[in-house]
Chain A
């Protein structure tokens, strides 16, 4: 089926939770809803599911209006951030519960529960109760319950957030494969840009109830249509600086100068906001064209393989992502380099006017 949202708005007590969202989800597509906490992802999913009616707008399934239709009749399934299973039922009964309610016959239930459990690698746990399972196994059970009934719309609301790192990676890799063969529309909400990129598919970026961009995930990443999208779809958020184009060059508010060349060559005179991702800043000059900048180290976060160095200069705070473990002294002045070929340029209204060309290295887009 095709799910279409038409000008969906949701207000609760005078507060706008969803602001005029329109989108079309293709059959069998994998869609990521990316946005910070409280961006409206969960509300939008609840509206898609039919758990909540929109205040304004229509929901169409294959061009038929289903806006007021009860959730039970919509054939949707949802997996939550918390591990939601029936506490007194075994894993088998949990997975079987939606089928039992649909009055599927016993042999068929048995077959489908076992095959779904195998898919989720929990076939050896079918006799256990949820509370005896690890978090990962509980969430696998919840996902099996959602997948067993062949729903048309599968909503995954930050399903991996409460799992530890290892399990999260494991499931994150499996999820797109598990769902690839189906014609189910999958909607996956997350706050993490990296998760969105790993999951692929299409990506809708949400910000304060509005959908700022919707398109193929990598394309959205490489061409964030607005400053907001860039901030949300970057981890750490994209570094920004105000700049002015005049006399054939770009003058950053911080006093630095970048030549008008490459993908930036066509910028007309005026005010701009420049953006650059943390991984495109470095402490070593990477090429001849790099622009050297000076800043004060405010903070260094070491993640193991990378170090995020927060620098401050002329009222601007940036984050530099460096390979390896570094331990710069706080308050110390440091030199770092901007690669102008990786700069995004946004106009005065925050809309993207120039994005760096996508370069392919080792088969992966940088």
Chain B
């Protein structure tokens, strides 16, 4: 049988092609272009091969930022995922409480990133901020502008406050989709609360949790605005994460070559981790099936 070809279909692909080209492919190619050349002005450019990559990968400040970033992202995931699940489990299943808690939970998600930074900047101050004032009142010497640990923790708490709701909402949606009959069946079996969670709720939330972990990983790995507003990356380098580092390099020092090389490395790290995570989780599911 002859294949039916319909060339008109190509016109339908064109808009997507243009949008992807302008929003992703062309900028990415520009970055690749920068990363392998030393550019003085549009007429004076030299091909430098992998020199920028070597320089960037050997930079100890970048290593520090990377380690800081990894610890931060892991902390975010280890706090937000269990906390999100726990909150989702305690939410009401019906009644007026449902909409009330939905609205409350959605509020942090609706606030722009830089406003979140500003809110916490004021909230954490010891002189005019409620949070900072109360902590100091308890006898803890807390000052995020001077103490690196305080600053790091403040950024972390801010992220937890800002994004745990997302995990809660995802998990809650997953929980709501479990038919009541599952719980009844477990009740008839005499299964414990833990068994219900372990063998019914957790497996049924698996797919939303994968999405939740991926989103939180990517977002926290790329975090920029909030620490930029809150601490500006300081004190010292305590809250200088990868994106701050990159911005400083590209916009502050105008080292476009190394910045481009680093951008690509940054991009590949995120891509690689997401791919590995996704593959492992999906394979784990499949292995269990066989």
Q: Identify the A interface with B (CB < 8 A).
A: 46, 49, 51, 71-72, 76-78, 80-82, 84, 86-89, 97-98, 101-102, 128-129, 131-132
Contact = CB atoms under 8 A, between A and B. Distances in A.
Contact of A78 (B184, B191, B199): B184
A357 B203 CA distance: 57
Given A84-B179, A86-B200, A132 B289 contact: yes
A80 B181 contact: yes
A37 to B, nearest CB: 16
Nearest to A155: B188
Given A101-B189, A131-B289, A86 B181 contact: no
Given A82-B181, A84-B181, A86-B199, A72 B204 contact: no
A72 B185 contact: no
Interface string B156-187: 00000000000000000000000101101101
A128 B289 CA distance: 6
Interface of B: 179, 181-182, 184-185, 187-191, 199-200, 202-204, 288-289
21 contacts: A51-B184, A71-B188, A72-B188, A72-B189, A72-B190, A78-B184, A80-B181, A80-B184, A80-B185, A84-B181, A86-B199, A86-B200, A86-B203, A87-B199, A87-B203, A87-B204, A88-B288, A97-B191, A101-B189, A129-B289, A131-B289
A98 B199 contact: no
A51 B289 contact: no
A97 B189 contact: yes
Contacts of B199: 86-89
Contact of B200 (A49, A51, A81, A87): A87
Contacts of A84: 179, 181-182, 185
The binding surface of chain B is classed by DSSP as helix
Contacts of A102: 190
B181 A77 contact: no
Contact of A72 (B179, B182, B187, B288): B187
A82 B181 CA distance: 8
Contacts of A72: 187-190
B181 to A, nearest CB: 4
A170 B200 CA distance: 29
A80 B189 CA distance: 14
For the complex of A and B, 4 pairs with smallest distance between CB atoms: A72-B190, A88-B203, A87-B203, A80-B181
A77 B185 CA distance: 8
A150 to B, nearest CB: 14
Contacts of A76: 188
Contacts of A101: 189-191
A140 to B, nearest CB: 15
A98 B191 CA distance: 8
Given A51-B187, A86-B199, A129-B288, 17 more contacts: A51-B184, A72-B189, A76-B188, A78-B185, A78-B188, A80-B181, A80-B184, A80-B185, A84-B181, A86-B200, A87-B204, A89-B199, A97-B191, A98-B190, A101-B191, A128-B289, A132-B289
Instruction: Tell which of B179, B184, B202 has the most Cβ of chain A within 10 Å.
Output: B184
Contacts of B202: 88
A84 B178 CA distance: 10
Contacts of B179: 82, 84
A162 to B, nearest CB: 12
Contacts of B188: 49, 51, 71-72, 76-78
A131 B190 CA distance: 23
Contacts of A88: 199, 202-203, 288
B174 to A, nearest CB: 12
Contacts of B288: 88, 129
Instruction: Tell which of B185, B202, B289 has the most Cβ of chain A within 10 Å.
Output: B185
Contacts of B189: 72, 97-98, 101
Contacts of B190: 72, 98, 101-102
Contacts of B184: 46, 51, 78, 80
Contacts of B200: 86-87
Contacts of B187: 51, 71-72
Contacts of A98: 189-190
